Structure 1
Amino acid sequence: MPSPAEREREGAAEAGRDGAAARPAAAGVLVVAGDLLEDIVVWASEPIRAATDTAAQVFRSRGGSAANVAALAAPRTPTRFLGCVGPDGAGDALAAALAATGVDVRLQRRGLIGAVVLLVDPQGERTMFPDRAAASLLEHVDPAWLDGVAWLHLPSYGFEHEPMRSELRRLVAAARQRGAGVSIDASSTGLLEGLGVERVLGWIAELRPDVLFANETEAALLGIAGGGAVAASVARAVVVKHGPAPTEVFEGGELARRVEVAPVAGVRDLTGAGDAFAAGFLAATLQGADAAGACRAGHAAAASVLTNPGASTTRPA
């Protein structure tokens, strides 16, 4: 996996070949573009009983896959979030909550606030009911919002609807021109199936991220679980997470690393674990870690959310 410095040199060389002026050195900002939502997390205290009451605890918090990555990366590396929320008090509260984590928050304001209801069973597995609303309305991003970008990260949720889908593709091109790395998270099997697997693979291959993140079910659906030609065609590196089993890193379609995962006691909620992994992995990568070191940083970040509601590192009082 090429380092940020190597990508910067490659970008400068490509700019020179195209006759354009070389880009300035990246300032090291991780930019995350995507959803900032309200999470309504329901922890079922017993097996879910259809058509009647099930005992539960309910938590409300700032959420959204992209916002989760930004919030969890900010303590580790300079981080900026690009998104859209409603122009109301609820949107103000989400923006303030994200900014309080240390993220440089850049928002467009229109539409209605988005939300996700997350139903979490007693084993920690979650079922999600998303309404992205304003989160999918991002468009015509101010070019200055990419100033200093060293890496751009995009959850695939952002590709679900227009105009955001086209805007994210434009942001990738703009980030590349600035010598930045790019990563995409596969995000959800439901999303991938709804959009069409072949269609999504085509988009990813066109964008050619430096890193594609996927859990084992997403990787199986995309046909990249064991590396191979498809994995090689869509990304320079594919990182496949297997829960408590070792994480695999494929480069050029070949297995390059298998990284053990330290056990985590008291797992209660898997929500946000993949976002936390991406946050730790990317922050470590920007600080010069190799793939194995980045995976270990990702594992540590993921462990920090597994005992709490949603993507939080603390249990609400």
Structure 2
Amino acid sequence: MLGVLGDLVEDVVVWVDGPLRHGTDSDAQVFRRRGGSAANVAAFAAGQCPTRFLGCVGDDPAGHGLVAELTGHGVDVRVARRGRTGSIVVLIDDAGERTMLPDRGAATLLEGVPDAWLDGLTHLHVPAYSFDGEPVGSTAVEALRRVRAAGGTSSLDASSTGMLDRFGRERFLALAADLAPTLLFANREESAYLGLLVDGRPGPGRARPAATTVVTKSGAEATTIDVPGEAPFTVPVPPVGEVRDLTGAGDAFAAGFLAAFLDGRLTGGGLREAAARGHRCAARVLASPGASCASD
């Protein structure tokens, strides 16, 4: 079973029609969606493999609604109830690019993970957002160590350059080296910021942990996979018709990749197949508001 630990929040997605007009009105469409990188991964993965979400929401109407929505996707949801459920305002420009204004609320308040929440997990995925704040940061590190100690695998997602800059580049690299995840997902900007992969080549000093495979996404360009001890290789991204909202695309990619990675039926080209499934999964969200598909 795939476990995903991190944020479950409400996304207020704003599709801005044209440039923002400072100090006055700007035309827009507003959508309310389930959000949080970890919750998005869990929702997209649940249709492909057994999936459990671990997190914290408020004991409030927003928290109850988000848990019910995520459960409706087939996710085994385990949450603590503290504080106030978080929310994120996501501004989407005409090119589909996002500007996010997060108020994570209760998502940072996860303190301790009961043994029952980790029972049966063979892999634990944690977005780096979960390291930013306490007590959730210490809780995430402890959960990753417990899953690895039990013989499971793990993965991290670099999440965002803004978060990495706030958390500290060297601090994150040191934490990743200590946790030695099986996989580390990043987009091109995050990978370059961390010195993991620059212009398709491993960064100076090989910043990533020696045993970690780095998966660098690059939008419509090919995904690069850097396996320890091997030359990096790329997996092309099939053309996509409409791109209106990039929110959740990286989470959908991670969900498809991890579901394939954990699928024992994979052939020898496992990582290539995993990336290809990730691309197919990501393509489904690009025309819909927030981390949702047209069929949701």
Higher helix share: 1
Matched, 1:306 2:291: no
8 Å contact from structure 1 (residues 33, 82) kept in 2: yes
Aligned-residue sequence identity (percent) comes to 54
The answer (yes or no) to whether the contact 1:185–1:213 under 8 Å persists in 2 is yes
Per the TM alignment, residue 88 of structure 1 is displaced from its structure 2 partner at its CA by 1.2
The residue type paired with residue 154 of structure 1 is V
| 166-175 vs 252-261, which moves further | 252-261
Query: After the TM superposition, which residues 6-17 of structure 1 pair with which residues of structure 2 at under 5 Å, given as runs?
Result: none
State the partner residue of 2:220. 244
Asked if the contact 2:156/2:183 (under 8 Å) is kept, the reply is yes
| Change in 2 beyond 3 A, CA 1:137/1:78 | same
**Structure 1 residues 234 and 269 mapped into 2: Cα distance closer, same or farther (>3 Å)?**
farther
CA distance in 2, matches of 1:181, 1:49: 48
Which of residues 28, 44, 55 is equivalent to 1:83? 55
Are 2:65 and 1:97 aligned?
no
Q: 1:200 to 1:235 in 2, by over 3 A?
A: farther
Residues 103-156 of structure 1: CA deviation (Å, up to 9, x unaligned): 000010010010000000011001000011100111121111111111100000
CA contact (8 A) 2:216 2:225 kept: yes
Correspondence 1:153 to 2:128: no
What TM-score do you get using the length of structure 2 for normalisation? 0.95
Structure 2: unaligned runs, 5 residues or longer: none
Q: Distance in 1 between matches of 2:228 and 2:175?
A: 18
Q: Which moved more, 1:244-253 or 1:151-160?
A: 244-253
Residue 251 of structure 1: how far off its partner (Å): 1.2
* Whole-angstrom distance in 1 between the partners of 2:284 and 2:260: 16
Deviation at 1:232, TM superposition (A): 4.2
Letter in 2 for 1:312: S
CA distance in 1: counterparts of 2:142 and 2:189, whole angstroms: 29
| Residue pair 2:157, 2:184 contacting (<8 A) in 1 also | yes
Superposition CA RMSD, Å: 1.3
Corresponding position: 1:215 with 2:184: no
Answering whether residue 3 of structure 2 is matched by residue 31 of structure 1, we say yes
Q: How much does 1:160 deviate?
A: 0.4
The number of residues matched between the two structures is 288
Check whether the contact 2:3–2:52 (CA below 8 A) recurs between aligned residues: yes
- Report SS of the residue matched to 1:149: coil
Alignment-derived partner of residue 20 in structure 2? 48
**Is the counterpart of residue 267 in structure 1 residue 243 in structure 2?**
yes
Verify the 8 A CA contact 1:237 1:252 in the aligned structure 2: yes
| Distance across 1 between alignment mates of 2:231 and 2:237 | 17
Q: Which runs of 4+ in 1 moved over 6 A?
A: none
Q: 3-state SS of the aligned residue for 1:247? A: strand
For residues 53 and 17 of structure 2, the distance between their equivalents in structure 1, rounded to whole angstroms, comes to 34
